Structure 1
Amino acid sequence: MPPIYEESSLPGTSQMQRGSGDAGAPAPSNPFNIPADEEIFRFREEEKARKEQQKLVAQTVSVADKTTFAAQMQATSTAEVRGLLRELRPPGGSKPTTNLAASSVGTLDRRKEKENMADFIAKKREIFLLQMSLDTKRAEIKKLEERARQREEALKKSEQMLEEDALRFDAFLKENDEKVQEAIKRAETEAKAKQDKVLEIKRLNTATAALRSELNKYEEQLEDCRRYKEFLDSITPPEWFEQQAAKLQRRKDALVAEWQAQCDTLRQRREAALAAKAQAEVDYANARTQQQAERAERAIKDSLGHLKEILKEKEPPPPNLDFQMDPEEEEMFFQEPSQLLAVYKQLEESNLFYIQNAQETEEALEELRQKLRDTKARMDAEAQGLQGQVAALQASIVAAREKARRLKDRTLENEGAFTLSMGNAAGASAAGPGVGAGGSGQGGPINLKQLADKVREVYVRCGFDADASIGTLQMLTNIEMKLEEYLASAEVMPEDYVEGAEKAREKERRKVARDEKLSAQHREHEARMARALERAAAPVFRKSGKPLMFRSAPPQRKKVVQADDRNDEEAELEAYLAQDMI
């Protein structure tokens, strides 16, 4: 028994059935596309289940009913061909009449050999492609027919819209023509009105220009009048302005008096009305008869009405006192041309006086300027002379400073030489015939302060007054001048007297030097005795150990004696000063 295959299990059967359906259905999927993984697994499971079912069926079949593999394949091919023919059969149930179906059946009848799967798939592919092209063409035909129908409907609507637009356009043109005619009429009217306005503006501009020119002329005249008025006011006497101010003040006082009179009148009327009312009330209160009461009542009513009228009247406002006199009412000082001529004459005389004074002032100023120039020239000459004197004095000051510097340097040199000579003299005076080798004289150097003190002492002894503001050089200069005076006086004196005085002075000097020398020797002797007593009283110092050996004496250096370039006068002055110091 051949195996039973369902039509739905054949590959391509479902696609063919879907392809042979309604033309409006969606196009079948391409069978040659690779399916998804889920479909592949599903197909595998279905194939496995179908094979299991076939095995179960084959086990129950008897041996006589079993078939071979070739018979199974033939049965499969026959079933597939039968399904294909069923798909190609028309819907009416009649057999297919196409050449393709006939050729396929004839070929199936003639061919008995076994077909392989590749040829079958190729044939089914050709059939599928043919069916797909037919379906595509049918769908395209339907689509084109639908598009043509829509195009016809659109054309009908467009024609209808064009007709409506033409009607509306005609109405618009008609309305536009009416508006154009109306606008033309309105433009003509407005153009005419504009022309009238332009003519009116021109006429008004002409009138305005004429009025402006006339106004400018009046303003120029007014400006001239103001200048004339200012000029006349400048030459008007101040008394006239005082009179005008007094007149204005009287006018203001009159206004104030009038206002006060009006206020007083109104106040009196109010008081009279109040008094009449009070009298009427008194009469009404004192009335004894009906007639008197009625008269009093009428009087009260009349007084009340009169009082109300008076109370309604307001007090007059105070006058405005800030006003000035009206220029039209203001009077001018100059009423006759002769007044102006008289003022001009006075001004001319005063101007001549001022001119004469100005000329005299200019002459005096010119004289002062000439004196100033002369004085300036003289002062310049004197200043130049003084500048020359200042330059000469500055040069002499510079020379004096240079001389002072040289004298100061020389004084420093003399101080060193004097210190050395004093030391030698002190040593010679201290070394007597009875003094041993241990008694050596000591002479201390004399500094500038001691020398200045000694010079000041000599300066005072020469008969000058002690003045702290005078320097040492100035004192030496004065001493030198004094010495020159003494020498000049000594030259005039007799020689015997001069020699006797010199011998006496020399004897006195030697005596003083001898006394000083003896006192110095005595002081030195006392000092030596004191040192000897100290050494005797001191403890004995015993040396221990090896005695120290003294080093060799340092080499003796020769002293270089500088040549003395000083002249004889300077040497004599230094010797004299050294003797005086001793």
Structure 2
Amino acid sequence: MKIMLHQCWIVLRKLKPKDPNIDKGGMNEYVTKKRELFLLEYSLAVKKGEIQLLEQMAAEEEAKLTRAEKFLEDDAILFEEFLKENDKNSVEAIKIAEQETKAKLEKVAEIKKITSKMVAIKSDISKYEDILKEYKKYKEFLLMLSPPEWQEKQRSKSRHSTDSTNAEKDEKQTEKIKKNKERKTAEGSKRGEKRVARGFLSSREARGSSRQSVKSSQQSSKISTPGNDSSDYEEDPEMFFKEPQDLLNLMTELEEQNLSLIQNTRETEEALEEFRQNAELTRKNMESESKQLKEQIDIMTDTIQREKERAADLEMKAKLFSFGQYKPEDQDKTLDTLSHKVEEVYHCCVGETEANLTTLQMLTAIEEKLGELLENADMIPKDQMSIAERAKEKERRMR
């Protein structure tokens, strides 16, 4: 800008007139040059103003730059301080992590020890439970052997004792609950003060101590409860058999009773076996008799059929005799043949005769025998009768 102003100044000096006596044409040129000079001066003033503004702006920018540099320096200092604090915190965090890992490993080791102890305790508990079951079985067996009056007395005593023990347990539990509440309130107030004073690390330690206290209280409560139960089991139970000889005598009596019962059962089994054998024999005999009766029935039915046919023939012959077609000699012969045939039927159905019977008597005996056989046939089951009838029909067809 300074160089441009200097050049303008040189141009103005050249434009000034040298002689006062100038022509009119030169006057016009002079006026135009003056005008140009004025314009140049005006532009020069404008440029100076712009230069001043630019210088002010440059000064302001330089001030801003100085301020920014100061801010950067302050930020760098703060960042360095932050890094230092971060390094310190990281070192402290590493130390805390190492402490926590050590504590964790210790807790894990303690947990393993406690779990091994718990497993051993559980195994012992299972053994003692098995032993207790056996003892309970023995106790129940002895109670079963004891008389019922003594059992009722013991039941009444046990009811009274259970009521008293339940009341004592309720009182103890209420006292324990009150004590635990007081302990928790005291521990909570102490822990709050410690947390406010110590900060983050103390808060963790307080939490760990609270957990340990809770676990210890739970363990103490668990340990205290079986103590109460053990007090119940420590009481010596009353038994009816105070001496072992009494129990041995009772066992001998029971053995004798068992032996007598065993003998009775054997005798009853033998009697049942004999009864079964007799029933089997009677069944076989009945079956054989039923078969024989069926055969006799079949025979009698055949004979009846034959006799019916013969009776029809005799009726025809009697009619013929009545009309006088035959002679009396022929009638006697036919009667003799009929009597012989009746005797044969009688011998087949009834058997041999001890005395001389007439034909009418033999016929009446045959009818009685047929009636008995028919009554016995009614006693036979229908299935067997149908089977026998079918067999006889087949035999008749074969004939």
TM-score when normalising by structure 2: 0.36
TM-score when normalising by structure 1: 0.26
Relative contact order higher in (CA < 8 Å, ≥ 6 apart): 2
Higher helix share: 2
